[in-house]
């Protein structure tokens, strides 16, 4: 498709007015072509233009992010500074996890602590929005704080700095909820009952939420001494509006995980086990809501 500005026969009318001034999402990195469709526009031209603007927005969003975040490796000594506080150094220990937005390392000086660092600066899709990776550090802190205030077991945070890092506890566990589903049949009946009891106790603590931000079956871990603990979270929680009537729970969304869906298809996870446990977990959350409402009524008498 050819863009032909200042052509009276073209279905496009050119203007030098910056796109950003008209409220559009435009970056200075993007090619500064700016067209407004005239009354003679065709559907095909509209599609082409919209596609061009979308691709340009994506490209410019990726290019506009600051390059302050770096990629790290075990053994690296990093210098951290938060606001007016004095700078300090940390040596990174074992790499224990990473995702689209974050790298996680144990501290070389204290294996019971981990540090969460933004992945190399870029923007990633979060819903329908492109978000710089360093913002997810803040989302983790905010999401953790809300859960903690509502009695949901979640990792402890020792120190954090906006956009830069979080130092939190390291949950020494070999089993996530996803791994529990995978290895269900291989776990002894006695151990399985103990793990399930702890899982249902955890489910009760989530009764205030229809959904917990970015909750996945591999973000919930079992620790022998403390039971089930959420180790990764964002701030996008959805609170239950009506505890008496809501039938939605955060466990309803596990089936939407691509990894779970794939494992159910190929038999890695037993479908009957998954369906039964998912239903029981949701029923446990709903029962906890009913119990809370009954206690509230009794206390108000």
CATH class of this structure's domain 77-169: alpha beta
Cβ density class 107-132: b for 16+ within 10 Å, e for less? beeeeebbbbbbbebbbbebeeebbb
Please report, for the chain, the start and end positions of each structural domain, with discontinuous segments joined by +.
12-64, 77-169, 177-300
pTM for the complete prediction?
0.74
From CA 71, how far away is CA 69, in angstroms rounded?
A: 7
Give per-residue pLDDT as tens, 1-53: 433 334 433 333 333 333 333 333 333 334 333 333 444 444 554 545 455 44
User: Which has the closest alpha carbon to 34: 20, 19, 48?
Assistant: 19
Q: What is the pLDDT along the chain (301 residues), one digit of tens a residue?
A: 433 334 433 333 333 333 333 333 333 334 333 333 444 444 554 545 455 444 444 444 443 333 345 689 999 999 999 999 999 999 999 999 888 889 999 999 999 999 999 987 678 777 778 888 899 999 999 999 999 999 999 999 999 999 999 999 999 887 999 999 999 999 999 999 999 999 999 999 999 999 999 899 999 999 999 999 999 999 999 999 999 999 999 999 898 999 999 999 999 999 999 999 999 999 999 999 999 999 988 888 7
Q: Are 69 and 117 in contact (CB under 8 A)?
A: yes
Tokens of 23: 């409220």
User: Which has the closest alpha carbon to 19: 43, 35, 1?
Assistant: 35
């Amino acid at each position: 498709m050819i863009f032909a500005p200042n052509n009276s026969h073209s279905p496009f009318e050119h203007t030098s007015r910056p796109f950003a001034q008209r409220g559009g999402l435009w970056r200075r990195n993007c090619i500064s072509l700016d067209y407004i469709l005239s009354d003679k526009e065709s559907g095909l031209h509209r599609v082409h233009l919209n596609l061009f603007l979308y691709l340009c927005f994506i490209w410019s969003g990726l290019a506009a992010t600051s390059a302050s975040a770096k990629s790290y490796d075990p053994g690296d000594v990093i210098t951290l500074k938060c606001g007016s506080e004095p700078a300090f150094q940390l040596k990174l220990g074992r790499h224990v996890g990473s995702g689209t937005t974050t790298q996680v390392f144990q501290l070389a000086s204290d294996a019971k602590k981990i540090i969460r660092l933004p992945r190399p600066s870029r923007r990633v899709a979060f819903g329908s929005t492109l978000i710089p990776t360093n913002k997810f550090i803040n989302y983790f802190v905010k999401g953790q704080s809300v859960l903690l205030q509502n009695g949901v077991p979640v990792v402890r945070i020792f120190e954090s700095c906006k956009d830069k890092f979080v130092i939190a506890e390291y949950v020494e566990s070999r089993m996530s909820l996803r791994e529990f589903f995978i290895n269900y049949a291989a776990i002894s009946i006695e151990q399985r009952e103990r793990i399930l009891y702890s899982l249902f106790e955890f489910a009760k603590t989530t009764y205030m939420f229809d959904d917990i931000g970015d909750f996945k079956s591999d973000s919930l871990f079992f620790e022998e001494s403390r039971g089930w603990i959420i180790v990764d979270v964002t701030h996008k929680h959805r609170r239950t509006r009506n505890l008496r009537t809501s039938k939605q729970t955060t466990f309803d969304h596990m089936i939407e995980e691509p990894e779970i869906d794939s494992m159910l298809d190929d038999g890695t996870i037993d479908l009957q086990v998954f369906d039964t446990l998912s239903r029981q977990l949701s029923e446990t959350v709903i029962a906890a809501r009913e119990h809370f409402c009954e206690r509230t009524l009794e206390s108000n008498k």
